[in-house]
Amino acid sequence: MSDFLKQFGDDLEKNVPGFIAVSIAEIQTGMSYFSLSVVPEFDPELASAFNLEVVKAKMNAVSALGLKNQIVSDIMITLTSQIHIIDVSENNLYMIYLAVDSTKANLGMTKAILNKYKKEIASKL
């Protein structure tokens, strides 16, 4: 598992324009499996913990609205100079939290890389 997570972090850092930070956490418990930041004052585990509540709230809303056969795939939050992307694994057990610089980000490339790993996370964690 650690080789997979190291490759994941290295790939994002090298290939996601404007990469700031990433974290993988278990949705049910909030346990962090991996985090990486290129900005020392940006704590991806803390950010992930707060954004976990966003994911849980959206999942509860989908359920409360009776939206059958609908799952939360991803959530994007746009700040003044950053974009925060929250991707939920295909089995709804894990989330990837990614922060990028909005002036450098290529969302198409970023989503393609995240989608590649999102499929693997469910089976490798």
The predicted pLDDT at position 88 comes to: 94
Tracing tokens 């799952």 back to the chain, one arrives at 71
Per-residue pLDDT of the chain (125 residues; tens, 9 = 90+): 588 898 999 999 999 999 999 999 999 999 999 999 999 999 999 999 999 999 999 999 999 999 999 999 999 999 999 999 999 998 899 999 999 999 999 999 999 999 888 888 888 88
- The CATH superfamily of 1-118 is Dynein light chain 2a, cytoplasmic (3.30.450.30)
- The C-alpha atoms of residue 119 and residue 3 are separated, in whole angstroms, by 16
> How far is CA 122 from each of CA 4, 80, 81, rounded to the nearest angstrom?
12, 32, 31
The predicted pLDDT at position 123 comes to: 84
Is 92 within 8 Å of 61 (Cβ atoms)? no
Domain definitions of the chain by residue range: 1-118
The predicted pLDDT at position 1 comes to: 59
